Amino acid sequence: DMQNFLQVISEADMLYGKIMKTQQWRLLRYLDAILLGLYKKNLPILYSKYTENLLEEGSTWLSDNISTWEKFLKSHKIPYNIIGDHEVELGEERRYKIVVMPGSRVLSDKEVAELKRYIKDGGSLFSTGGPATFSPDGKWAGWRFFNEVFGLKFSKEIENPN
């Protein structure tokens, strides 16, 4: 595993060096394919039922988010699997280097605590859609998780001009 990691980083470093030396910016398109080699083990995508339960009946917002990730990973031939809230609460995300959390607006207190431990122990999260901004009972939880885990401060939402 470490050998694969070092090989991928070495390839990425060599390509990046070539890009910087020659200014051939079109080569950047190959960098993502190399770096995706770090995550060839099944990449977990969190499908949060807590989030789904909070959405209006008939909403496809979360399933659309999940589907977009599935299409992306399939197009890059990256194996993935779907994990649920319960698996995160049990700490099963620790088997992975990174967890994708598309639209996981609702996380339980157990999930939040477990994901914070996961990050502290070296795991990574890729999240979209205001993670853990609601509790499972639908109450606004704020941006605390976002601030603590990602070290970012939320200032305002960007309005859609349409």
- pLDDT for 18 equals 73
**Residue that has been written with the tokens 């083990």 in this structure:** 41
The residue ranges of DSSP E strands in the chain, in sequence order, are: 43-47, 80-84, 98-102, 124-128
DSSP state, residue 104: -
| Cβ neighbours around 86 below 10 Å, total | 12
Would you say 134 and 54 are in contact if contact means Cβ atoms under 8 Å apart? Answer: yes
How much of the chain exceeds pLDDT 70, in percent? 77
Q: CA angle 57-126-43, nearest 5°?
A: 90
- pLDDT for 150 equals 84
| pLDDT one-digit tens code per residue, 8-27 | 667 766 766 676 677 776 66
- pLDDT for 117 equals 94
pLDDT surpassing 80 at residue 111: yes
Rounded CA gap, 9 and 54, in Å?
40
How many CA atoms lie less than 13 Å away from 63 in the CB half-sphere? 7
- pLDDT for 109 equals 94
Between 59 and 95, the higher pLDDT residue: 59
| pLDDT one-digit tens code per residue, 118-154 | 999 888 888 888 899 999 999 999 889 988 888 878 7
- Helix, strand, coil content of the chain in percent (nearest 5): 50, 15, 35
- pLDDT for 78 equals 79
- pLDDT for 31 equals 63
- pLDDT for 146 equals 84
Rounded CA gap, 51 and 37, in Å?
30
- pLDDT for 27 equals 67
pTM of the predicted protein model: 0.71
